[in-house]
Structure 1
């Protein structure tokens, strides 16, 4: 299993890195458009519409994303980020409150629509963040990865109180706090070391937050770290309600696309919203 995970990761890096570092960000947009179509396919399958309807849903989602980009390009209105953020804060927290049993009670059409909007906003945020700069995009993505890795080790070491036992039994409050501490440390390093001493192509998300919000940027990091947990738990809830361990088997050893990007879905649009203040 470990060898399979490593091989899959290396193949993904071989595909993603050239697109990420290409001088024209449109190549990254096109590649991630394929990924968002796959995520849409997985979302449809998890919400009661497998087979051909799932393929059509993924294709339609990619078409809507492409059409939006064709119309607005990289100049996405700021209200889009706040709309997506509001959906995550209100809808995501509400979904976690109703739990695994409550999610299937929503109509399939509403669940599909919600997934389409959230994936649409996440893809647009990913593309716009790349256009702002590789350093900006990577700093936002690394926030999620640091929150996850630090939470894992803190939970393993200190975890006692379960965070959401009915949804993800392995998560603990101690792990969530450890993830937050890791994010703050990462932000300090990025602002005072990476952005200052390395030849980056743009200010990081952390530097932009500090420049615009000052000490309040710490609260922004707390919020983004918390929302990464919400994104993770939300996808776990949907999978548990569908009786699935993974969102799919598209990525051998890793599960599906949604399994890899769940925590990024709320963080990317919210990062753009907060850095617009």
Structure 2
């Protein structure tokens, strides 16, 4: 099942995405995705006319994993991590498909793309074993971990450079875990103005989804509605020759096989 949050004339609604692309309400008006994840949904069997598809949810927290793809480690020239490298993005950075990525070029100049598999937590997880970790997953979605490399690398820690407003496109919907047979066998791609710039597989992950959940849950509680970004593969603009950064008017499309395409245009006046 695919579940989404859409904008209607009467406000936002949580819906099921049907095979024909139509939407059916999963909950009454005023119920958000985190309520649905917590089991407070009612299938009201009502067709919904949507004006736009929004970000599927506002996460309780975003847990992000750095340097988790072998091909990305190779292109960056950094050392192979011995354990998952954890950072966060502020939830205020979340936007949906079709919304613009906005930044001021006088403030951030080296803005980069990162396609990622995003994991949506469906049950409270604390100190869980890797063998059982996937049972805590509600579903999967697509993320673009947009990064201001000049801020990220200049600060010495990554939070500010990865948390600017609009720097976490998420969506277009959540595909429930039962439809993803193996999260380590998904293809990931990024296109900028139609040009393929990232093309890899979750099979390149250093630490699997299950291992990441287990590792995180030993340190802190993962709650219903939390989102884990599991890392990006090779092909980031920062490590291209010559280096490439996003420019005003460009359209970034990130895709994970079977989970949908997330598309956002860049607005960076003067860039």
TM (normalized to structure 1)? 0.27
Structure with bigger strand share is 2
TM-score by length of 2: 0.28
Write 1 or 2 for the structure with the bigger share of helix: 1
